[in-house]
Amino acid sequence: MASDNRRIVLAARPKGKPTDSDFRLETGPVPEPGPGQALLRTLFLSLDPYMRGRMSDAKSYAAPVAVDGVMEAEVVAQVAASRVDGLNEGDIVLSRSGWQDYALTDGKGARKVDTGELPLSTALGVLGMPGMTAYTGLLTIGKPKPGETIVVAAASGPVGATVGQIGKVKGCRVVGIAGSAEKCAFVKDELGFDAAVDHRSPTFAEELADAVPDGIDVYFENVGGKVFEAVLPLLNPFARIPVCGLVAQYNATEFPGAVPVPVLMRQALSKRLHIQGFLVFDFNAQEDDFRRDVGQWVREGKIRYREDVVDGLENAPRAFQGLLEGKNFGKLVIRVADRT
């Protein structure tokens, strides 16, 4: 076992885009598990857009990471030593250990994972929190019906890719929005979306309108900003809008895009829109359904996934900065160590 524990802490609260100096890599001793504790060794660390919110102390649904505190994250870890009943050395678990090599657990927050023949990293992506977000938000709020049109942005990422492919399973026409020609080609050719539109194109709004000749029945909102501006006039009466994320504005110091509230409210009224925000844990009761259905669809090849695996804990800050600008291509995970 290594003698050092590297951890990445929040050095300062970012103003706008996070920069290198907002993070600090520290090294300390590997903690010793006491009675009722186990030592977890991080294998894969998940990087997710919500972490930008945790770096800020603005009022939110979750407490911020403290300055000088270890950055928050869910990880796939291997039990390195255990004094917890039911957790054995070598077990693979999901835990909220944060951006560090090692962490202690009392076992309550460590859940054993078995991804079968799929890579362990999928427990952080298509078979984990992002997959569950897509499944619950789309089916519970979006309520797609066969023949309807679904639009989703960040379409090559773990949430958007899963939303679109579940839409196809449900018999819908699915249009993805992504940030490059390469991502659009992947979404259409590899994931089987009916069309894909590049939000960086100067004629994005026109291209989106052409891609949805029957209008939009479900808009799964992942980004906000100018994408939402282009979507709003294309929504059909009784459209459903699960508001999942607003990644275009997480780094913003002023709001991108500008749909005036009276315009939005007028559309909401005249089209009888159903706009509902949600957080994935609102739907914890559906976890067994998610595991059963998405697990089966992945095994059957109806849901495919792409991962963007970056090696080395020390590279997490740069990789995270890129995530908020679309530099990742697929579910972003850091490979911290190999399974022993």
Query: Which residues lie near ligand NDP (CB under 6 A)?
Result: 48-50, 130, 133, 153-154, 156-160, 178-179, 183, 199, 222-223, 225, 227, 244-245, 247-248, 278-280, 323-326, 328, 332
CB nearer to ligand NDP: pick between 297 and 320: 320
CA distance 40 to 308: 23
Q: Which of 251, 256, 250 is nearest to 228 (CA)?
A: 256
Q: How far is the CB of 122 from ligand NDP (least distance, A)?
A: 14
The amino acid that residue 339 corresponds to is: R
Q: Are 51 and 319 in contact (CB under 8 A)?
A: no
- Least distance (Å) between residue 94 CB and ligand NDP: 15
User: What are the φ/ψ torsions at residue 189 (nearest 5 degrees)?
Assistant: -80, -35
Q: Which helix (H) or strand (E) holds 297?
A: helix 287-299
Q: Which of 228, 289, 234 is nearest to 259 (CA)?
A: 228
Residue 153 bridge partners (DSSP): 177
As a whole number of angstroms, the distance between CA 116 and CA 118 comes to 5
Nearer to ligand NDP, 143 or 226 (CB): 226
Give yes or no for a contact between 95 and 72, defined as CB atoms under 8 angstroms apart: no
* Complex with ligand NDP: residue 165 or 328, whichever CB lies closer: 328
The Cα-based distances of 21 to 14, 40, 171 in angstroms read 9, 28, 47
When the beta carbons of 136 and 149 are compared against ligand NDP, the nearer one is 136
Shortest reach from residue 213's CB to ligand NDP, in Å: 23
Q: What are the distances in angstroms from CA 158 to CA 28, 183, 295?
A: 33, 13, 14
Helix (H) or strand (E) holding 211: helix 204-211
**Could you give phi then psi for residue 277, rounded to 5 degrees?**
-75, 155
Q: Which helix (H) or strand (E) holds 199?
A: none
- Closest by CA to 69, choosing from 141, 8, 1, 137, is 8
